[in-house]
């Protein structure tokens, strides 16, 4: 095969791949926004915990956690693309990619609520913690009942 033919095949494959996933880009924007908001709320929790437990929490953003953000984005978006391809390949009339995005966003919203309610004395936070995890003790091994 000639070099030009190989380049055409490669560019055609790239164009076809972009065309196949293009409808998922608005869903990706929503998904990535939810993930970024979760990261912002987690950073806020870390800063609050730094004030409360300066000897146990440094209150800084860590690069290894930043890598986890990209990993989460990759897996979540990969799942959304897969759902989109299954939906269109098998002519399913249910918006699987939209449902998948909604599920991922609900997970992120739950995490955001956990972050905002953790290490908080507000009444709404105490009520909310009856239903969701307190990340103070869950992720930082600090038992708030003992302090």
Tokens at residue 107, please? 């997970």
Q: What are phi and psi of 118, to 5 degrees?
A: -70, 145
pTM score, two decimals? 0.83
Residues 6+ apart with CB under 8 A from 132: 110, 113, 114, 117
pLDDT tens for residues 38-80? Answer: 999 988 998 888 888 888 877 777 777 788 899 999 999 999 9
8-state DSSP, 93: S
**Ramachandran angles phi, psi of 2, nearest 5°:** -80, 155
The answer to whether the CB of 53 falls within 8 A of the CB of 135 is: no
The DSSP letter of residue 22 is G
Helices (H) and strands (E) in the chain, counts: 6, 0
Secondary structure (3-state) at 12: helix
The pLDDT tens digits for 98-122 are: 999 999 999 999 999 999 999 888 9
pLDDT tens for residues 23-37?
A: 999 999 999 999 999
Look up residue 129 and give its two tokens. 């913690």
Nearest to 111 by CA among 26, 44, 58: 44
């Amino acid at each position: 095969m000639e070099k030009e033919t190989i380049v055409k095949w490669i560019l055609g494959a790239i164009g076809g791949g972009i065309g196949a996933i293009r409808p998922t880009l608005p869903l990706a924007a929503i998904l990535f926004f939810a993930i970024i908001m979760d990261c912002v709320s987690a950073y806020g929790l870390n800063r609050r915990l730094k004030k409360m437990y300066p000897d146990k929490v440094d209150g800084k953003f860590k690069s290894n956690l930043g890598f986890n953000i990209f990993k989460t984005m990759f897996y979540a978006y990969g799942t959304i693309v897969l759902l989109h391809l299954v939906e269109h390949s098998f002519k399913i009339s249910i918006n699987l990619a939209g449902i998948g995005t909604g599920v991922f966003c609900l997970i992120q919203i739950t995490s955001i609520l956990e972050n905002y309610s953790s290490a908080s004395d507000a009444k709404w936070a105490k009520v909310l913690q009856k239903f969701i995890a307190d990340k103070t003790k869950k992720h930082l091994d600090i038992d708030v009942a003992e302090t």
